[in-house]
Amino acid sequence: MAEYIIRRTLQMIVVFFIFLVSSYLLFNAIPGNAFSNLLLNPDLPPDAYEKVLATYGLDKPIMERVQLYVVNFFKGDFGYSYKYYPKTPIELIAERLPRTLMLFAIVNIVAFYTGFLVGKVLAWRRGSKSETWITVTSVFSYTVFYPWFALMMLWFFGYKMGWFPIGKFLYPEKWYTAPWDSDVIFVLMIKFTAIISIIQFIAYIMTRGIESLSQRRNLRFASLLTIAVGSYFFWNTGDALTKKPYAADIAYHMILPVIVVTIVAFAGTALLTRTTMVEVIKEDYILTARAKGLSQKRIRDRHAARTALLPVVTSFIFTIVTIIDGSVLTETIFSWPGMGQLLLQSVLEEDIPVAMATFSFVGVFALIAHLVADISYSYLDPRIRIKSQG
Amino acid sequence: MSKEVLVVDGLNMHYETLDGLVQAVKDVSFTLKQGESFGLVGESGCGKTSVAMSLLQLQPDNAKISSGSIKLDGIELVGMTEKELRTVRWDGISIVFQGAMNAWNPVAKIGEQIREAIREHRPDNSKDENTEKITELFNIVGLDSSVMDRYPHELSGGMKQRAMIALALSCDPKVVIADEPTTALDVVIQDQILKELKKVQELLGLSLIYISHDIAVIAEMTNNMAVMYAGSIVELGPTKDVFSKPKHAYTRLLLESTPSVVGEKKKLRSLDGEPPSLIDEKKGCSFSPRCPAPSKECKNQELEMKLIEVVKGHYADQCCVECG
Amino acid sequence: MSNTLKEQEELQKQLRKEAIRKNWKLFSQSKLGMIGLYIVAFFLFLALLQPFLFITGIWNPAIYDPVVGYDKISANLLVIECPKEYPSEKYESYEDCPGPGEVNIKKLYMAPDLEVGDYYDTFIQPAPPSRTHLLGTDSLGRDVFSQIMEGSQVAFVLGLLSATLGVGISTILGTIAAFFGGRVDAYLMRQSDLVLMLPSLPLLFIISAFAELKVWHLAIVLGVLGGLGGSVITIKSQALQVKVKPYVDSARITGGSKWQILFQHILPNVAPLALLFMVFSVTGAIASESVLSFLGLLNIDMSWGIMIYLSQTDGFIFSGLDFWWLILPAGLAVTFLAGGFYLVGRGLDEVFNPRLRKR
């Protein structure tokens, strides 16, 4: 196992190096550069363009720049943003990432739970009329033309009904007098969500060993109650109380994007769960479970769904990898200034240092997640043991 | 005279498939007495497992019990709701499946899977009581109690099958069905498991239904037996009598096709042909196409298949009693 | 001798026919698959109907051409003046005035000599659905129904082309990775890691900056990217399962060469999964094209994505359902065709995966 991880890590470093060099070359190969529009400005002195290029080192030959970039990259120097000078790409990412994480963490948790629930019910009712129609609906919600759907929802709920704000992640007028930056609030909200999920997860693990089913249910309910009461106190005391209205503002802006993305994202999980469950249901141990006289619900949840969970979890990890990639469209439509928009804008404006930094961030994230997926799969399923070669 | 635990009467079951109806169980009747061990023998695909599945009503969705009755301790099982059936399963009738390899959930521990069954039927037991019960059962089947904390893939085939027997006994069922419990095991382990099963049966006074294609195993394991062919029972009686004086031509051929270690050397006879397709329903003796010396009744396609008592307690199908 | 050969061929033909019949029967039992097939067939019909209509002259290309067609649709409107207070006799609220067939005098500042009660002839674009234009016209006077048909041609060409290319690449690479293992495998896996690492949408942005992407180019780009990415891993794991099957061993023992085993034994057994993948990747290709068109990055004359793009840039998408024929048909077409292919894939899955079969 250790040998496997080492070898994979070495391979990953090589892959990352190739990734870095090829993306840099790719960005530089795009016609024009971030400062081309200076040429169009007749008020500037004629040598301004050349001077700016020289300042940013863009006048050097491409191979030299690649070398410089890669060397500096591994030294931890990512340069400065061309557009947001003097901010560094790291500063920009640190500002944008919490916003994206907050939105998509909630979406993914909700989508995973609902998707898994719907999927297992669908598989269990296989062949019934309701199953067919729910499956067809999920398929269309999975394949729906996303930007179109998002715009329609935005029009309906934001414009026609006026329930939710149209775009943006906060009301700027509310924040003029705010003592904090929005990032502070985002970080606080992320911490809060993380702690809740961890407590719930621990409660779930702890109660697993309890023999009596009703006791187990009661304890789990109690833990939920504790969380509810706890969060009430958290938001109504001390520091968090003063931050509450701002957090509420952000949360209000989040509702519509969360709903829209969840509708699309849950269907994928639901369909995958259905497929794997349908296969698992054919297994002999489901027959054993039935012969034992267990209730349908118990067989479904404890035997079929538990085994079917494995591929769903793996695919879930892969979904997390594509969060930033997938956020590009969502953030553009909902004018949510997160990582996706940063990625898109930096590519469009040829802000190479920022584009490279976001690309590498996504890349490293993807590489690690793939490795984690492979390893965790072997732990989740006691039958699978990784052999030497990937 | 011990009482009758399980009475099966005129059981018919069919599968609905793409190619039409498959009549898998035709008019099967037998009784199982308290503490008795009953054998069901026949070729692959003759409907043995379908009978077992019908007893627990665990047949797949496309299978239907069209008629007949199954009475457990006088309670009718056919037509019960799913909820009522759940109380009967494992508590009334439990089963040891043929492929123990796949009968365990791969991601749950063995102990947890047994515990789960006990919990379902004895909800008031404490955790310690259950652990004690499982340890006791493991002792009976010759397993160490540490097996409880293992995952199925960590056990050998024989261990899994022993654990399966422990699982089947966990709720003290009235009837245990053993559906080819030794098929996937090697001969040595097979023998151990059989001995274990026999020991357990005698020790606990179990009522056991033993299903196998191996006639030698049936001879070793059972008091009474039935021979199945193409979905119907063609011979039924005390195991000793069926072996010493087989009445049906099929039973005779079956016996002659099995080598015997003791006794005189005989040339083995093989059974030509294949079992008939169960799709098209025909009247008359189902064995007649393969019968080496069909009698008049056997060739008569109008005669209904029906068990008749040949000797007291020993029944055979009327179509082929007189054959070859 | 030749006789028996012929007979053998005949028999093989029959067996193949029988297999197809049986598979079809299985497929037709899958409700989901059949729903998908109907949807795909419907769009295929639309795609083929348009050229037919042009060739037979039922549609005049000058009017109905999805890109350069133009139809003058004039309306005769009554000039009125809106009341100051609501509700009035004629109108419930402010929004109701002017009603259908009417025009507010305030809107007619271009024609000062008209007075209330006059009739005014005007061209209206986009025009609502009528008998001549089943789904109305867009803001340039082009027939929306004809655009939908053109869009489905684009979707089929692009979807099938890129899916075939992608699955072809990933099947070959996946089986090679599984069969040869070792370094070849490690190389190919890391290569697909590399492709998976690149964020797809920004990457397509960059590519579209190099060259003006047409349908063919996009199909090739999507095909290659899809073929090198995650599907190689899935195909490989399937091929690994096939590789250890007894018939592969027996082929090896009887002296089959490596390539022979690869192409005659492993590839055909991976093919069903590959076909399945192909159907699913059609879904992805259609969606990608629509998204790129929607963002205005493609140099395609007409597609469903472009229809949505135009209706968005013209500001109709926020005018709600008043101009529904500009918004709904194209969006629903993308959703349904992609969903249709997905459902067909599900149906095929039940045919090729015996573990999923109901009976």
Whether B157 and chain A come into contact, CB under 8 Å, resolves to no
CA angle centred on C282, ends C280 and C284, rounded to 5°: 80
Read off the pTM: 0.79
**What pLDDT score was predicted for residue C43?**
93
Q: Is pLDDT of B266 > 80?
A: no
In chain C, the percentage of residues whose pLDDT exceeds 90 is 9
User: Which of the 8 DSSP states describes residue A350?
Assistant: T
Q: Is pLDDT of A191 > 50?
A: yes
Q: Is pLDDT of B315 > 80?
A: yes
Nearest residue in C to A388, CA atom: C182
Using a CB-CB cut-off of 8 Å, the residues of chain B touching A127 are 61
CA distances from B134 to A148, B86, C224 (A): 59, 21, 58
Using a CB-CB cut-off of 8 Å, the residues of chain A touching C205 are 344, 347-348
pLDDT band at A362 (very low <50, low <70, confident <90, very high): confident
Any idea which of B24-28, B116-120, C94-98, C261-265 has the lowest mean pLDDT? C94-98
Strand, helix or coil for residue A249: helix
Which range scores top for mean pLDDT: A314-323, A371-380, B138-147, C190-199? B138-147
The helix (H) or strand (E) run that includes residue B287 is none
Q: Which residues of B7-16 are buried (b: 16+ CB within 10 A; e: fewer)?
A: bbeebbbbbe
The neighbours of chain C, by the rule of 3 or more Cβ pairs under 8 Å, are: A, B
Whether C29 and chain B come into contact, CB under 8 Å, resolves to yes
**What pLDDT score was predicted for residue A387?**
39
Calculate mean pLDDT across residues A348-366: 86
pLDDT in tens, B234-265: 888 888 888 888 888 888 888 877 766 555 66
Whether A384 and chain C come into contact, CB under 8 Å, resolves to no
User: Which of the 8 DSSP states describes residue B33?
Assistant: E
pLDDT in tens, B179-199: 888 776 778 888 888 888 888
Calculate mean pLDDT across residues A9-27: 87
Q: Which of C205, C318, C339 shows the shortest C-beta gap to A155?
A: C318
Q: Are strands B307-311 and B314-317 parallel, antiparallel or unpaired?
A: antiparallel
Across chain C, mean pLDDT equals: 81
Across chain B, mean pLDDT equals: 82
Calculate mean pLDDT across residues A286-301: 84
Calculate mean pLDDT across residues C220-230: 86
Q: Which of B87, B154, B167 shows the shortest C-beta gap to A293?
A: B87
Q: Which of A285, A287, A292 shows the shortest C-beta gap to B90?
A: A292
**What pLDDT score was predicted for residue C108?**
67
CA pair distance B183, A16, nearest whole angstrom:
52
Q: Are strands C74-80 and B314-317 parallel, antiparallel or unpaired?
A: unpaired
Partners of B208 in the β-ladder:
B37, B176
CA distances from C231 to A214, C167, C193, C277, C349 (A): 45, 8, 11, 8, 16
Using a CB-CB cut-off of 8 Å, the residues of chain B touching C25 are 18
Task: Give helix C144-180 / helix C267-294 axis angle, nearest 10°.
Answer: 140
Task: Report CB contact under 8 Å: C199, A30.
Answer: no
Tell which residue, B62, A111, A271, A120, has the closest CA to residue C32: A271
Q: Is pLDDT of C359 > 50?
A: no
**What pLDDT score was predicted for residue C41?**
94
Task: Report CB contact under 8 Å: A148, C334.
Answer: yes
**What pLDDT score was predicted for residue A386?**
40
CA pair distance B255, B225, nearest whole angstrom:
14
pLDDT in tens, C123-174: 777 777 777 777 878 877 788 888 899 889 989 999 999 999 999 999 889 8
- CB contact set of C275 (below 8 Å; sequence gap of 6+): C167, C348, C352
- CB contact set of A22 (below 8 Å; sequence gap of 6+): none
Task: Report CB contact under 8 Å: C304, A321.
Answer: no
Using a CB-CB cut-off of 8 Å, the residues of chain B touching A213 are 119, 123
Q: Is pLDDT of A121 > 80?
A: yes
pLDDT band at A388 (very low <50, low <70, confident <90, very high): very low
CA pair distance B83, A296, nearest whole angstrom:
10
The helix (H) or strand (E) run that includes residue B16 is strand B4-17
What six digits make up the tokens of A76?
A: 């931890």
The neighbours of chain A, by the rule of 3 or more Cβ pairs under 8 Å, are: B, C
Q: HEC string of chain C?
A: CHHHHHHHHHHHHHHHHHHHHHHHHHHHHCHHHHHHHHHHHHHHHHHHHHHHHHHCCCCCHHHHCCCCCCCCCEEEEEEECCCCCCCCCCCCCHHHCCCCCEEEHHHHCCCCCCCCCCEEEEECCCCCCCCCCCCCECCCCCEHHHHHHHHHHHHHHHHHHHHHHHHHHHHHHHHHHHHHCHHHHHHHHHHHHHHHHCCHHHHHHHHHHHCCCCHHHHHHHHHHHHHHCHHHHHHHHHHHHHHCCHHHHHHHHCCCCHHHHHHHHHHHHHHHHHHHHHHHHHHHHHHHHHHHHHCCCCCCCCCHHHHHHHHHHCCCHHHHHHHHHHHHHHHHHHHHHHHHHHHHHHHHHHHHCHHHCCC
Calculate mean pLDDT across residues B55-81: 84
Using a CB-CB cut-off of 8 Å, the residues of chain C touching B18 are 25-26, 29, 359
Tell which residue, B21, B22, B29, B72, has the closest CA to residue B51: B29
pLDDT band at C340 (very low <50, low <70, confident <90, very high): very high
Tell which residue, C75, C78, C79, has the closest CA to residue C106: C79
**What pLDDT score was predicted for residue C333?**
92
Which range scores top for mean pLDDT: A170-179, A224-233, C70-79, C85-94? A224-233
Q: At C120, which amino acid appears? A: Y
Question: B166 CA to chain A: closest CA distance, Å?
Answer: 13
pLDDT band at A324 (very low <50, low <70, confident <90, very high): confident
pLDDT in tens, A70-81: 888 888 888 888
CA pair distance A77, A67, nearest whole angstrom:
13
**What pLDDT score was predicted for residue C56?**
87
**What pLDDT score was predicted for residue C337?**
92
Taking only Cα atoms into account, the Rg of chain A, rounded to an integer number of angstroms, comes to 25
> Do A368 and A318 contact (CB within 8 A), yes or no?
no
Q: Is pLDDT of A12 > 80?
A: yes
Q: Is pLDDT of A253 > 70?
A: yes
Calculate mean pLDDT across residues B113-136: 86
Partners of B225 in the β-ladder:
B39, B237
Q: Is pLDDT of B1 > 60?
A: no
More confident residue, A379 or C52: C52
Which range scores top for mean pLDDT: A107-116, C44-53, C287-296? C44-53
pLDDT in tens, C33-50: 899 999 999 999 999 988
User: Residue ranges of the domains in chain C?
Assistant: 22-57+142-356, 74-123
pLDDT band at C356 (very low <50, low <70, confident <90, very high): low
Q: Is pLDDT of A385 > 50?
A: no
Among 1.10.3720.10, 3.20.20.190, 1.20.1250.20, 1.20.1270.360, name the CATH number for the domain at C22-57+142-356.
1.10.3720.10
> Do A132 and A140 contact (CB within 8 A), yes or no?
no
Q: Which of B56, B123, B153 shows the shortest C-beta gap to A382?
A: B153
A212: number of Cβ within 10 Å: 15
